[in-house]
Amino acid sequence: MDPIFIYTMKVRDYECDTQGHVNNANYQHYFEVTRHEFLEKVGLNFYQLHKQGIDAVVSRVEIRYKVPLIGMDRFICTVSRLERVGLKYIFHQEIVRQSDNVLCARAKIEVVNLVNGKLSQPEVFDEAFKEYI
Amino acid sequence: MDPIFIYTMKVRDYECDTQGHVNNANYQHYFEVTRHEFLEKVGLNFYQLHKQGIDAVVSRVEIRYKVPLIGMDRFICTVSRLERVGLKYIFHQEIVRQSDNVLCARAKIEVVNLVNGKLSQPEVFDEAFKEYI
Amino acid sequence: MDPIFIYTMKVRDYECDTQGHVNNANYQHYFEVTRHEFLEKVGLNFYQLHKQGIDAVVSRVEIRYKVPLIGMDRFICTVSRLERVGLKYIFHQEIVRQSDNVLCARAKIEVVNLVNGKLSQPEVFDEAFKEYI
Amino acid sequence: MDPIFIYTMKVRDYECDTQGHVNNANYQHYFEVTRHEFLEKVGLNFYQLHKQGIDAVVSRVEIRYKVPLIGMDRFICTVSRLERVGLKYIFHQEIVRQSDNVLCARAKIEVVNLVNGKLSQPEVFDEAFKEYI
C-alpha cells in the first residue's frame, strides 16, 4: 500500500553524533517535520492552530531503529497510514534511505487534540484528514 | 521501589517550541543524557567506548508523554529499573517535575551492543551493570 | 575582574558532532542559557516577559572559538561584563573548561528590547541590571 | 554580485522557540548546512575529510540578525562570497526569506584547517575552491 504522504529530506551533519550516525532524537524531529508538512498540505498550520487555541499534542511515540542514517544521506519520511482510535490519531511513519530503499526507522506516533488546553474531539483534524482515513 | 539512578536537570528555553512546551524530541535527549551519566557513574564513557569499537545503540524507544515541561522547570530524570532480555538492555526511565513531583514522561528504551559494528553480547555492560540487574 | 554571573554546565553527548567536538551552534545555546539564568537571578523570566509583550532579541553575535569542548566536559559559562550602548545591551561572555581553566570560547552578544514588536528603551532590563552596569 | 552558492531550506517548527521565531543558534546551523552542501558540490565531504584527518573548524562567527524567520518559512541561504586571508577562509553568507526577498540574517564565518589536529595550510580547500576565490 502506498504511503499517504511522502517528504524528502537530507541529513544535516550537525544532526550526527560522535558515532557518526544521526542521533536518535533527530528521527523524532524528522517524523514531526513530516507530519507538519502533511498538515500544511491539508490546509492546516501548526503554529496558526496554536494561536487559535488548538494544539495537536503527541501523547505516545514508539520508534524502532533499524539502520542508521549518516551525514548527507538523502531519505524519505512517510506517513504510511493514519488511524483514528478513540480521541487519538495514530500516525504510522517510516524513514527510508533513498540510495537503496532500505528501511531505517519505523514509528507509531499517537496524537491527541487539546482545545484551550483541554482534551477534545479532534474535529478540525477529522475534517482535514477525511480523505486519508 | 527507588530508582537506580537519578539525574537532575533544568529545562533550557531553547528546548521549548512555539506551544511553550519542551519539544517532544528533547525528552529523548534527556533520557539519553541520564543514561550516559549513569554509564559514567559505573565507569564507562560513551565516546571512549566508541573509540574502542563498542557502541551502545538504541534499537527501540517507547515514550508516553503525560504533562508538559515548560521553560526553566527543574526536573529529575531517572533510570527506574534496568532489565537484561536476550541481547538487549531495557532501560525504564521517568521524568518527574521537581516542584510538585508530577510524572511528566515515562520511557522504555531498548539498547543493543555493537562491537565493531556487529551485534554482540553486551559483556562490558554486564560487568558494569551487575549491581543493578 | 570577576565575572558578574557564572553558570556551570556539562557537555551532553548529543551536542557533539562527528568530529567529536561540541557543535559550534551549541555554544550559542550555552551562552543563551546562561543569560536566561542570569535574568532569572535578577527576577525576570524570558517566557513570562514574552507573554507580557516584552522580548529580548539578539541582534548580533560574535563568537571566537579557541579550544573545543568534548563529551562530558564540565565547563562554566559566564557573563563577564554587561554594557548598555544606545538601545542595546552588550553581554560579554566566556566559556571556560573546568578541569584546567582553559578558555574555550568568548562571545559578545548584542540584545535589543522589543515591546509589542517595536524597538524600545529596555527599561525593564535597566531596572533589573542596575547593579551590574 | 551573484552569490557563489545558494541552498534552499524551509523552517522546521521545532527550530522555533516560545517567541514564535527561529532560535538564534539555528541560523548558525543553517549557515553550516549550506557550507557543507557547497563542499559537497565541489567534491568534498565533511565527514570523509574528518576520517582522513582533515577538519575544517570554525574559529570565529559574526552574525547580524535582521528579521526573524517563523515556522514553515521558505528561505535561501547563500555563500555570497569567499575570501582566503592568511590561513583562514572567510565565508560571507546570507539568509533571505523567499516570499519577499527580505534579508533575515548576514554572517561572516572564519574557518581554519586542521590536519591531524594541527593548524595547516588549507590545501585541499584551495584546490576545491579555486574557481570561487
What average pLDDT values come out for chain D (133 residues) when binned by 10 residues?
Answer: 95 93 97 97 93 94 97 97 96 98 98 94 93 91
- Return phi, psi of residue B6, to 5°: -130, 135
Please answer whether residues A78 and A6 qualify as being in contact, where contact means their C-beta atoms are separated by less than 8 angstroms: yes
Helix, strand, coil share (%) of chain C residues, nearest 5: 25, 45, 30
**Contact assessment for residue B63 and residue A61, using Cβ atoms and an 8 Å cutoff:** yes
* B132 to A43, B76, D9: CA distances (angstroms): 51, 19, 46
A18 with C23: Cβ contact below 8 A: no
Angstroms from D14 CA to nearest CA on chain A:
7
pLDDT value of position C13: 96
pLDDT at B44 over 80: yes
Quick check: B71 and D25 CB within 8 A?
Answer: no
- Cα C50 to Cα C65: distance, rounded to the nearest angstrom: 31
Cα separations in angstroms, B96 against A97, A114, D40, D59: 36, 22, 44, 39
The tens digit of pLDDT for each residue in C14-66 reads 999 988 899 999 999 999 999 999 999 999 998 899 999 999 999 999 999 99
Nearest residue on chain B to D26, alpha-carbon basis? B14
pLDDT for A77 equals: 98
Contact criterion met (CB < 8 Å) for C46 and B71: yes
**Average pLDDT score, chain C:** 96
The C-alpha atoms of residue C61 and residue C109 are separated, in whole angstroms, by: 5
Q: Which of A74-78, C2-6, C50-54 has the lowest mean pLDDT?
A: C50-54
pLDDT at D19: 85
Q: Is B16 helix (H, G, I), strand (E, B) or coil?
A: strand
Q: How far is CA C47 from CA A51, C35, C96, C119, D43, in A?
A: 16, 13, 28, 18, 44
Alpha helix segments (H runs only) across chain D: 24-41, 46-51, 123-129
Q: Would you state the pLDDT for residue D1?
A: 76
Closest partner CB to A24 (pick from B19, B47, B58):
B58
Cα of D42 to nearest chain C Cα, Å? 21
Of the residues D12, D14, D15, D22, the best mutation for testing chain B's interface (the one with the most B CB atoms within 10 Å of its CB) is D14
C-alpha cell at A22: 544521526
Specify burial of residue C69 (Cβ count, 10 A radius: 0-12, 13-18, 19+): buried
Q: What are the residues facing D9 on neighbouring strands?
A: D75
What is the per-residue pLDDT across A34-46, written as a single tens digit (0 to 9) for each?
Answer: 999 999 999 999 8
Question: Distance of CA D52 to CAs A12, A17, A18, B106, D46, Å?
Answer: 20, 18, 16, 42, 10
d(CA D18, CA D2): 35
Q: Which residues pair with D5 in a beta bridge?
A: D79
**Which chains are within 8 Å of A by 3+ CB pairs?**
B, C, D
* Helix (H/G/I), strand (E/B), else coil: A44: coil
pTM for this prediction:
0.97
What's residue C19's pLDDT? 85
Distance from CA of A17 to the nearest CA of D (A): 11
Classify residue B22 by its DSSP letter: B
Please give the share of chain C, as a percent, with pLDDT higher than 90.
94
Mean residue pLDDT of chain B comes to: 96
Looking at beta carbons, which residues of chain D come within 8 Å of C50? Answer: 18-19
Nearest residue in C to D65, CA atom: C59
- Chain B residues inside the 8 Å CB shell of A46: 18
- What is the arithmetic mean of pLDDT over C86-106? 97
Using the predicted structure, report yes or no on whether residue A1 has a pLDDT greater than 80: no
Cβ neighbours for D35, distance < 8 A, ≥ 6 positions apart: D79, D91, D93, D109, D111
What pLDDT sits at residue D100?
98
Those residues of chain A whose CB sits closer than 8 Å to some CB in chain D are 12-14, 16, 20, 29, 32-33, 36, 40, 45-47, 70-72
pLDDT digits 0-9 by tens, B85-102: 999 999 999 999 999 999
Q: Do B28 and A32 touch (CB under 8 A)?
A: no
Closest CA–CA distance from residue C18 to any residue of chain B (Å): 11
- Residue range C98-121: mean pLDDT, rounded: 96
Contact D18, D68 (CB under 8 A): no
The angle, 0 to 180 degrees and rounded to 10, between the axes of the packed helices B24-41 and A24-41 is 180
